[in-house]
Structure 1
Amino acid sequence: MDKYTQIAARILLAQIFLVTGINKIGGYAGTQAYMEAIGVPGVLLPGVIALEIGGALALMTGYGARWAALALAVFSVVAALLFHHDFADKTQFIMFLKNLSIAGGLLLLFAQAETGNRS
């Protein structure tokens, strides 16, 4: 894959995590309450924010991008299963599929870096 295409792909994959991580800081109490309402301990929120923002920056810069991609892929699947499992709600079903699609792209990035095709 062309170097510039790889950079663009990493940025496109990263932007959702960067924006949502920053938004979680601004809406910390609401996000924490939402997590707890689902049964996820709110004490995990700082780690979630760090993973989203740190992982996004790693993807964007390419520094540690392979492992960030794997961590964010796992995070995306876990988030889909915990927060978007109401398939009767069309929006939740789409969000579930979105998370799985993002995880797929991140796994491709992880696998592509594994073969030595780094940008």
Structure 2
Amino acid sequence: MNIFNPFSNNTILANTSVLLARFGLSAIFILAGLNKVQYFEGNAQYMASAGLPSELLPLVIAFELVGGLLILSGLLSRVTALAFAGFSIVSAVLFHANLADQIQFIMFFKNIAIAGGFLMLAAHGAGQWSIDQVLSNNKNIPK
């Protein structure tokens, strides 16, 4: 095994890793979207306390749920990953910028790390086990 590229000769390991990464990156947003539905009023108040109109909450919920499912399935993964990277950075700045508070410090850099994961996904794609790959292999679909 090449210690500098352990995936070079093991496509199953590489494909499994990308699938697990998509699962992890999507799960946090799908669960957050479901939480926002369940606790709608509290989340609307939280957004308002950050100076954002609570009317944006349904759009955020839709973005988290639909975007999360797109990442999970590997459909439109590159553009969705770019959108989530931006969303994660904006969320870090708007909601977790009080870096003197240890919890906010952790949340801020968690969001930055998530954005990094999404940028990797945007750069490298959703992998062989994705709808994007199936569609790109279909000769009837324009590329």
Per-residue Cα deviation, 1:61-80 (whole angstroms, up to 9, x for no partner): 00111111111110000000
Q: CA RMSD in A?
A: 1.2
List alignment gaps of at least 5 residues for structure 1: none
Higher relative contact order (CA 8 A, sep 6+): 1
Residues paired across the two proteins, number = 116
Deviations 1:48-92 (CA, angstroms, capped at 9, x unpaired): 011111111011100111111111110000000000011110000
TM-score, length of structure 1 as denominator length: 0.93
Residue 105 of structure 2 aligns with an amino acid whose one-letter code is: F
1:57 matched to 2:66:
no
Matched ranges for 1:3-14 at <5 A:
3-14=15-26
Structure 1 or 2: more helix by fraction? 1
2:41 is the alignment partner of 1:29: yes
Percent of paired sites with the same residue: 44
Instruction: Identify unmatched segments of 5+ residues in structure 2.
Output: 1-6, 8-13, 129-143
Which one of 88, 91, 109 corresponds to residue 79 of structure 1?
A: 91
Q: Distance in 2 between matches of 1:94 and 1:3?
A: 30
* Structure number with bigger Rg: 2
| Higher mean displacement: 2-11 or 75-84 | 2-11
Aligned to 2:127: 118
State which of 16, 19, 22 in structure 1 corresponds to 2:28. Answer: 16
Q: 2-side partners of 1:80 and 1:56: how far apart?
A: 18
Alignment partners' CA distance in 2, 1:28 and 1:65: 28
TM-score (norm 2): 0.78
Query: Cα deviation per residue 1:69-119 (whole Å; 9 max; x = unaligned)?
Result: 111110000000000011110000000000000000000000112xxx732
Is 1:98 the equivalent of 2:110?
yes
Secondary structure in structure 2 of the residue aligned to 1:40 = coil
CA distance in structure 1 between the partners assigned to 2:80 and 2:116 by the alignment: 14
